[in-house]
Structure 1
Amino acid sequence: MAQSDVRGQDPSVDDTLSLAPQDRKTPEGSGRRGGGRGKNGSRAGRPRRRRRALRWSATVLAVVITGAATAGFLYYEHLNGNIRKGQRESGDAEAQKTAPNADGQTPLNILLIGSDSRNSAADLKLGGSRDQVGSPPLADVQMLIHLSADRKSASMVSIPRDTRVDIPKCTDPDSGKVYPATDDIINTTLARGGAGCTLSTWEKLTGVYIDHWMMIDFAGVVNMADAIGGVQVCVRQNVWDHPTAAQRGGSGLKLRAGTQKIYKEQALQWLRTRHAWGSDLMRARAQHMYLNSMIRTLKQQNVFTDTGRLMDLAEAATKSLQVSEEIGTVKKLYDLGMQLKSVPTNRITSITMPNVEDARNREHVVPDGANADKLWEMLRDDVPLDKNGKDDKSGKDGKASDAKPAANTDKTAKAPSTDPSRLGVLVQNATQSTTEAAVPGRAQTISQALGEKGYGRAAVDTTVTQSVDRTVVQYPSADLAGDAQAVAKALGIPVSSVKQSTGVSGVTVVIGADWRTGTSYPAQAKPRAGELPQNTDSVNGADTGDCMDVYKPYQW
């Protein structure tokens, strides 16, 4: 049969390329192995040559796959190497995780910290003066990101940087230096043991267990804004945050009125601006608007189908963030991002802690008693801050949460250090409110009730005159925590109202305006979804029409 006839049987095969050299040189019928034809006229060696070609193709493919996998692994390790990590907590505060809901799910709490560090050339270029180089950084932005147990809602809660709080004893994880407990403004915590001390301070104040922290500095904000491709913001008037005769400093932010995208240094200026908004509290609102807009932007982008954008974002994120060590890998950060990305924007609520002016310093604020406590209770019990959800069982909008209450007394209880009959307990009457005078003899009544329950050394404290909205039991040091909890239990006060404080010398019951009668603490109504406390400022994540008002001296 002619050679052309052989090709005619299989047009896809080119004998000149597929035959081995010895096959091409061997005459027909020479009797050499592999040189003859089969009964059907085809070459006997064709199956083996095909297998050889397939083996070659498979080898090439394997090399390509292995090379790509190796490159991917090396890049993954490169990204992991970018991430800086630190100890989760470095203070004495002990908060308990919220109990799982009916489906075994638990909330996730992440503390986001913005550092004002000037200890790198990039940070110094973006803000501050050279005399601040080497100084301990301050935690100027502090925001708790709370993801509900079912991952259907989220909240972002800010505490103003100049809030005076009780700071627990902290130990610097790098130097081993121990910082004693104190009361000071909350942004100093970063210099008292790193981000772990800031986290411990939040836990002490709120009673909310915080799973992780993430910290970003000036340069990180710029890099992230650039990688995202800009974030949309809005101002109602032209704004220029610059030094004035009455106020030094300023972020340098200069924008025309209306909605626009900000990039790079402008993003940092927006987040740092305070004077142009009129107060530090309004700065928190501007930060909430920025983060909500950033989340909406990321949701709209097809970043995971754009390799270049994805790599830029991954590089910026891993270089910009310092995180607590248990989430210090690309995969874990990616998983966290996906959980937040899955929450609908209208189920994201940004809020600033209810606060009032600090009586000791008008430049500072303190938590607003019962209003702040209500917010912390909603976070501990995983109650949504919005009303846009539906309860799976009732189908009613925002009427309930399927989360179980926060960890109960039995799980959080500590053993008392001494017998009740030997424990000194002070009782203070702080029942005065803005609308009602203090109840006469209230401390004496509760002191006697404690005596009947075995606390024979309970006494009235008349050295301190104050008024508080909500009753608390305070103790000065960790060794008295169990004793304070036992006193609270005897009076029916919830364990969440037992707090360590540097302002007391022993276990102290401070009777608030919420307990004006009786000797057993009254049951408190549980907050419902969307029932936000008074004296607060909130922004919904789906609100695209919100704009910042500019304080008159900074309009142009």
Structure 2
Amino acid sequence: MAEHKRVPSRRRKVLRVAACAFVALVVLGGGAAGWAYLKLNGNIKSVDIDSRLGDARPPAATDGSFNILVLGSDSRVGENGDLAGGATGDSARSDTAMVVHISQDHSRASIVSIPRDTLVDRPQCTDSAGKAVPAVKRAMYNSAFESGGAACAVKATEQLTGLRMDHYLQVDFAGFARVVDAIGGATVTTAVAIHDKDSGLDLPAGEHHLDGQQALAFVRTRHGVGDGSDLGRIELQKQMVKSLLQQAGGTGLFSDPVKLWSIGDTMTKSVTTDSALGSVNSLVGLVRELKGIGPDQLTMVTLPVTTAPTDANRVVEQQPQAGNVWAALRADQPVPQVVLSAQPENPAQTAPAESGAATAPAAHPVPKPAPKSTAKASAGR
């Protein structure tokens, strides 16, 4: 990996200290450290995706770059049902899907959000019980996870992108809320009021510091902002990711061993990984590889899509833009500027038109300052 002779930023220093402290915690022999290592390792749930997919996959990169598929599950099982509301059951869909590409020198990352309603040719795969899941033409992207679990979601994503998904990370409703609370919440700014009875989000315009449950409502809301589509919700999720990175890099967050233990315990309880990441050592190694990437080194885009010709409620990849995005990542190049310039606005940061419509677009929205407020959120659908 290329070496960089530059003065570390405050965030890089904090993450380096965090990684070193975490490594020290888990490798020290005997006593409390040994117990901590076993407990954290025992928290992690993992899936052996490689054995289920075999060799019929895109080749892994050889230049040091790699890709991670990050899924947010909308499972209502257990405590997720209390947070999410709505019908509970055993099935779950990939409510949020992000392909994270890490550059060859691990100095930058590109994240491509895939709308869950994107129609794709879903490949044949095998679910967690070993049952064959048949291929389907023009199925919703998120149905791959619902029908065949993590391995099927990875296979569908690899077929869509032509990229090898080297790693897999999954978090559900309860896990996301716990992680946000563990790092001290997240700050967001809205130019418009958001009221969504389905997600339970109730925010006046302004700046808000959200706890875990409120942050979950924020990334799930659709009907309370913009045109009510999944594309608007993705823009809110992008804002949340950057806010959490800012919060995680805050001074002193990882300097307290008690706080560090709490964060490590919470995070390892909250994720499901591929088997290669299914240990504390592997997760710490991943954190250390990514320590130089902050909000300024992160490019986030939504996959270019257009309304499906056969269904006004579904979308399909917009070509050639979507193909150009995947080609750029395969070549370890930045997302094309033509795609970046055509990205949708964040409906929460778009100033309302004079008519009062909260969904009117603005070329360069500048939110008006507003006093900080405590957001309210209740369990919603």
TM-score range, shorter chain: 0.7 to 0.9
Letter in 1 for 2:289: Q
Counterpart CA distance in 1 for 2:28 and 2:338 is 56
Residues 529-553 of structure 1, C-alpha deviation per residue, up to 9 Å, x if partnerless? Answer: x5536643489xxxxxx83568948
Other structure's SS at 1:192 match: helix
Residues 49-69 of structure 1, C-alpha deviation per residue, up to 9 Å, x if partnerless? Answer: xxxxxxxxxxxxxxxxx9983
Other structure's SS at 1:337 match: helix
Partner residue, 1:265: 213
In the alignment, structure 1 residue 318 sits paired with structure 2 residue 272? no
CA contact (8 A) 2:28 2:34 kept: no
Residue 194 to residue 310, structure 1, CA distance change in 2 (3 Å): same
Residues 282-322 of structure 1, C-alpha deviation per residue, up to 9 Å, x if partnerless? Answer: 11111011001111111123333211211111111011101
Residues 322-365 of structure 1, C-alpha deviation per residue, up to 9 Å, x if partnerless? Answer: 11111101121122223333114222111000000011111000
Alignment of 1:267-306 (within 5 A): 267-277=215-225, 278=227, 279-306=229-256
In the alignment, structure 1 residue 334 sits paired with structure 2 residue 289? no
Which residue, 52, 57, 62 being the options, matches 1:94?
57
Which residue, 349, 354, 379 being the options, matches 1:547?
349
CA contact (8 A) 2:94 2:142 kept: yes
CA contact (8 A) 1:91 1:201 kept: no
Which residue, 29, 32, 36 being the options, matches 1:75?
36
Which residue, 78, 81, 102 being the options, matches 1:147?
102
Counterpart CA distance in 1 for 2:339 and 2:290 is 22
Other structure's SS at 1:140 match: strand
Which residue, 61, 68, 76 being the options, matches 1:118?
76
Residue 337 to residue 548, structure 1, CA distance change in 2 (3 Å): farther
Please report the RMSD computed on the Cα atoms of aligned residues, expressed in angstroms.
2.3
TM-score (norm 1): 0.55
Alignment of 1:153-164 (within 5 A): 153-164=108-119
Partner residue, 1:211: 166
TM-score (norm 2): 0.80
CA contact (8 A) 1:88 1:212 kept: no
Other structure's SS at 1:161 match: coil
Partner residue, 2:343: 536
Percent sequence identity over matched residues? Answer: 33
Letter in 2 for 1:181: A
Residues 503-543 of structure 1, C-alpha deviation per residue, up to 9 Å, x if partnerless? Answer: xxxxxxxxxxxxxxxxxxxxxxxx6xx5536643489xxxx
In the alignment, structure 1 residue 194 sits paired with structure 2 residue 149? yes
Q: Point out the structure with max Rg over C-alpha.
A: 1
Residue 532 to residue 177, structure 1, CA distance change in 2 (3 Å): same
Q: Number of aligned pairs?
A: 324
CA shift for structure 1 position 234: 1.0
Alignment of 1:1-40 (within 5 A): none
Other structure's SS at 1:305 match: coil
Partner residue, 2:11: none
In the alignment, structure 1 residue 182 sits paired with structure 2 residue 136? yes
- Can you give the 5+ residue segments of structure 2 that lack an aligned partner in the other structure? 1-26, 360-381
Counterpart CA distance in 1 for 2:306 and 2:244 is 30
Residue 203 to residue 359, structure 1, CA distance change in 2 (3 Å): same
Partner residue, 1:108: 66
CA contact (8 A) 2:304 2:339 kept: no
Partner residue, 1:25: none
Other structure's SS at 1:362 match: strand
Other structure's SS at 2:181 match: helix
Letter in 2 for 1:229: G
Letter in 1 for 2:74: D
CA shift for structure 1 position 251: 0.5
Other structure's SS at 2:315 match: strand
CA contact (8 A) 1:351 1:538 kept: no
In the alignment, structure 1 residue 354 sits paired with structure 2 residue 318? no
Other structure's SS at 1:193 match: helix
Letter in 2 for 1:178: A
Counterpart CA distance in 2 for 1:95 and 1:538 is 33
In the alignment, structure 1 residue 171 sits paired with structure 2 residue 129? no
Counterpart CA distance in 1 for 2:181 and 2:287 is 18
Counterpart CA distance in 2 for 1:169 and 1:76 is 38
CA shift for structure 1 position 129: 2.5
